[in-house]
Amino acid sequence: MRTWIVRRKLFDRIKRTQGMRCHWCKCQIKRIPLGYRGALDDDHATLEHLTPIMEGGAKYNRRNIVLACNRCNNARGGATGRKSAERLAAIRSTKGGGDG
Ligand SMILES: [Zn+2]
């Protein structure tokens, strides 16, 4: 199956179960980059794995996948697992500034 079809199905399910909100900062997701590759602006969401695949997380299990806005995704950077959770907790606690 083509990857983008899998992604679209995942998005559909996640939209229904989690809503169109960033898992981390709870901001409203405006656009979903289906089939889109390359740089994303802040309005776009990305799919994030709660448990990184490198650490044994399921790639296409929606329980392991959340929507995240591009800002949170960037903030998370290369950090995985506990480290990324710590970073994102810091973001949430400082939320309120910026153009949010
Ligand atoms: Zn976010």
Taking the centre of ligand 1 as the mean of its atom positions, its distance from the CA of residue 22, in whole angstroms, is 5
Taking the centre of ligand 1 as the mean of its atom positions, its distance from the CA of residue 2, in whole angstroms, is 27
Q: Are 67 and 21 in contact (CB under 8 A)?
A: yes
Structure-block tokens of residue 29: 């997701």
Mean pLDDT of 4-13: 79
* Domain enclosing residue 54, as ranges: 3-94
Residue 50 included in any domain: yes
Kindly list the distances between the CA atom of residue 62 and the CA atoms of 41, 59, 86, 92, in Å, as whole numbers in the listed order. Answer: 24, 8, 22, 23
Taking the centre of ligand 1 as the mean of its atom positions, its distance from the CA of residue 61, in whole angstroms, is 21
Residue 99 included in any domain: no
Residue 13 included in any domain: yes
**Over the stretch 38-89, which tens digit does the pLDDT of each residue have?**
555 656 677 888 888 888 988 888 888 888 888 888 777 655 556 666 766 7
CATH of the domain at 34: 1.10.30
Taking the centre of ligand 1 as the mean of its atom positions, its distance from the CA of residue 4, in whole angstroms, is 22
Taking the centre of ligand 1 as the mean of its atom positions, its distance from the CA of residue 95, in whole angstroms, is 10
Q: Is the pLDDT of residue 20 over 70?
A: yes
Taking the centre of ligand 1 as the mean of its atom positions, its distance from the CA of residue 69, in whole angstroms, is 4
Residue 38 included in any domain: yes
| pLDDT score, position 98 | 47
- Where in the chain does DSSP place strands (E)? 45-49, 65-69
